[in-house]
Amino acid sequence: MQADVFTRRRNNALIFFALLAILTAGSIIITQYDVQKGFTSIARALIWGASNFYPDARSLTKLPDILVKLRETVLMSIAATSVAAIFSLLLAVAGSRTTRICSSFTVIARGIASFFRNVPLVAWAMILMLAFSQSSLTGFLALFFGSLGFLTRAFMETIDEVGENTVEALKSTGAAYFPVIFQAVLPASMPQVVSWLLFMVETNIRDATLVGLLTGTGIGFSFDVYYNAFNYHAASLVVIVIVITVLIVEMVSNGVRRVIL
Amino acid sequence: MALLELKNVTKYYSGTTPALAGVSFSVNDGEFVSVIGSSGSGKSTLLRCINRMVEVTSGEISFGGVVVSRLGKKDLRKVRTKIGMIFQQFNLVDRMSVIENVLHGRLGYKSTLAGVLGRYTHEEKWQALKVIQMLGLEQQVYQRCDQLSGGQKQRVGIARALVQNPKMILCDEPIASLDPRSAKIIMDHLRSICTDIGMTLVISLHQVDMALKYTDRIIGLNRGVVVFDGTPGELTSQRSAEIYAREPKDVNINLGERNAS
């Protein structure tokens, strides 16, 4: 009996890896991807990057302009994330299993969450561009919708996880719905909620660059302009500034997490 | 006169096996009643039906002369303020302090706004402190609950139930996740709450010896049916085997279980 378990586990692993191999080989054949060329061009790309894609002294004069754009992008990401978080929290409380008023709210909240989450950010930006053309509002809304979907789902799961026991306890004291939410659910889930919020800010700063490329705003647009003007030195400076910013934001949010958890 | 009266209480969660099948008994003012039975016998369900954290399928429960199952939302909350409850997992808000958790017991008496804001009167705070002192937690008043030991957490749970000024306290396996020493402290506290204050307690227990030692009356549940109702003196080993039997008349299984554990 016990030997069976081990044989079955080994066979499952073998089947899994065989399937993986077939999938890989299949995709390579169908897309006619040249594996050897693929790997050799990585080296060539690196060599090109090293000889052209680095900031030089002249590009440093563009730094003040880049920083202005960077500030715009960072602030927009934070604004989009925090506004989305407020709406997400409302949706999550209404939709979570432990705090919902009726079960149809769960279906609605989950539906909203998956709809906004599953439409790719780029698609949001393109669609919104039709309505608002190239402006910061387009970028803001694209990030807002993406974050709304993700955060609603994350908050709902957080509340489900931490809320159940304390909700039961407070309900049994005869407390009404809103006191239970404000005295038990929100305090108990706050650290995780803030943690998800910080994660979303980080992600959004990265994504804002891409959205900016499309909507012609912020740091993404600067990159696009320099790149199209063959000013690779300035473009590389933009990339480095973005990387540094994301690292700093990550460090700050890790610090905040340590304090609140 | 009986404080709590159950008549033919039946509960189906789903399917055809009832969690409770025609449970009837009454509890007098000031009685300390234990409900014993193996896992899945319906102890927790029974306790939760009393304050309608679980809705009964049929039957009638009256508490203090009021038929609980017919109450609207508002009146139900009023009844719940008079029934304290403590839990196996303590169900505290871990990130809040002891005094805040104890004061949660007052939420049932508050307006929604005062509850949301967590505004308690001077008298309520004073009463909470008195109860905390009674349970020997005066050193921990402002400590966060996640820094407490299991036994201390359960004492906070008892304090939260006591500040409700309840007529009865339901205890759902209050010592199942505690070590023997803490369990004894908790049972001593519960006993003295009954003897000194004259509180009515209904407690579900895993341990027959605890039920024998501390409670005035024992109700034995086997698969949703009351198979024993009497004083500890009347609970012979034969009767106790019946309570824990897997199948009716299959009374030897209890011995096997005891040897296995």
User: A72-124, pLDDT tens digit by residue?
Assistant: 889 999 999 999 999 999 999 988 888 887 788 888 989 999 999 888 888 88
pLDDT digit string, tens, across residues B193-218: 898 888 999 999 988 888 888 899 99
Q: In chain A, what are the domains?
A: 2-52 (no CATH), 59-260 (1.10.3720.10)
- Whether residue B259 has pLDDT greater than 90: no
Interface size between A and B, measured as CB pairs under 8 A: 89
In a domain, B125, yes or no: yes
Cα→Cα distances B113→A36, A181, B29, B117, Å: 69, 12, 34, 6
Interface test with A, best of B49, B50, B91 (most A CBs within 10 A): B91
> Residues B78-97: what's their mean pLDDT?
91
pLDDT category of residue B1 using cuts at 50, 70 and 90: low
Say yes or no: B78 and B178 in one domain. Answer: yes
Range of the domain at B242: 2-82+168-260
Domain end (from B165, B184, B210): B165
| ipTM of the modeled complex | 0.85
Q: Are both B185 and B123 inside the same structural domain?
A: no
Domain boundary residue, one of B140, B165, B190: B165
The answer, for A186 touching chain B at a CB cutoff of 8 Å, is no
Q: Are residues B21 and B46 in the same domain?
A: yes
Residue B197 lies in a domain: yes
Q: What per-residue confidence (pLDDT) applies to B255?
A: 43
Nearest-CA neighbor of A52 among A227, A224, A259?
A227
**Residue A18 banded pLDDT, cuts 50, 70, 90:** very high
Contact B197/A at CB under 8 A = no
The verdict on B165 touching A (C-beta cutoff 8 Å) is no
Does A36 lie at the interface with B, CB-CB under 8 angstroms? no
Cβ <8 Å between B104 and A169: yes
Per-residue pLDDT band for A3 (boundaries 50, 70, 90) equals low
> Is the model's pLDDT at B233 over the cut of 90?
no
The per-residue pLDDT for range B92-112, each reduced to its tens digit, is: 998 899 999 999 999 989 888
User: Does A182 contact B116 at a Cβ distance shorter than 8 Å?
Assistant: yes
User: B89 and A173: CB-CB below 8 Å?
Assistant: no
Assess contact for B212 and B235: CB atoms under 8 A: yes
DSSP state of A182: I
How would residue A2 be classed by pLDDT, with cut points 50, 70 and 90? low
Unique residue bearing structure tokens 């769960």: A106
Looking at the structure of chain B, the number of domains it has is: 2
The CATH number covering residue B16 comes to 3.40.50.300
* Structural domain contains residue B87: no
- So what's the pLDDT on residue B254? 44
Alpha-carbon separation of residue B23 from B79, B83, B236, B241 (angstroms): 21, 20, 22, 20
Q: How far is A140 from chain B, CA to nearest CA, in Å?
A: 32
Across chain A, mean pLDDT equals 88
Q: Which residues of B touch A179 (CB under 8 A)?
A: 107, 110, 112, 115-116
Q: In terms of domains, do B172 and B254 share one? A: yes
Whether the per-residue pLDDT at B248 is higher than 70: the answer is no
Q: Identify the residue among A102, A167, A183, A259 best suited for mutation to test binding to B, counting B beta carbons within 10 A and taking the highest.
A: A183
pLDDT score for A179: 92
Of B80, B92, B118, the CB nearest to A174: B80
Tens of pLDDT, residues B145-178: 988 988 899 999 999 999 999 999 999 999 988 8
**Is pLDDT of A243 > 50?**
yes
pTM of this structure: 0.79
Query: Exposed, middle or buried by CB within 10 Å (0-12, 13-18, 19+), for B54?
Result: middle
Shared-domain flag, residues B77 and B172: yes
Let me know whether B158 and B222 are in one domain. Answer: no
Domain end marker among B138, B165, B192: B165
Cβ–Cβ gap A179/B79 under 8 Å = no
Same-domain pairing of B122 and B177:
no
Which residues have a Cβ under 8 Å from the Cβ of A168 and sit 6 or more positions away? B53, B87, B91
- Give CA–CA dist B168/B32, Å, rounded: 10
Instruction: Tell whether B58 and B155 lie within a shared domain.
Output: no
- pLDDT of amino acid B228: 87
Is a pLDDT exceeding 90 seen at residue B235? Answer: no
Q: List, in sequence order, the alpha helices (H) in chain B.
A: 43-50, 73-81, 98-103, 112-117, 122-134, 150-162, 180-197, 208-214, 237-244, 253-260
Confidence of residue A131 (pLDDT cuts 50, 70, 90): confident
Stretch B222-229: mean pLDDT, rounded? Answer: 88
* pLDDT for residue B249: 53
Structure tokens at A234: 């300035």
**Do B143 and B160 lie in a common domain?**
yes
Q: Does residue B225 fall inside a structural domain?
A: yes
pLDDT at B247: 61
Q: Say whether pLDDT at B257 is over 70.
A: no
Query: Band of the pLDDT at B256, cuts 50, 70, 90?
Result: very low
pLDDT in tens, A183-215: 989 988 888 899 999 899 888 888 888 888 888
Whether residue B194 is found in the same domain as residue B149? no
| Binding-face residues of B in 117-146 toward A, CB within 8 A | 117-118
Domain identity same for B172 and B256 = yes
B48 & B104 share domain: no
The rounded distance, in Å, linking the Cα atoms of A19 and A106 is 37
**What number of CA atoms fall less than 13 Å from residue B32's CA on the CB side?**
22
pLDDT value at position B168? Answer: 92
Distance CA B195, CA B220 (A): 23
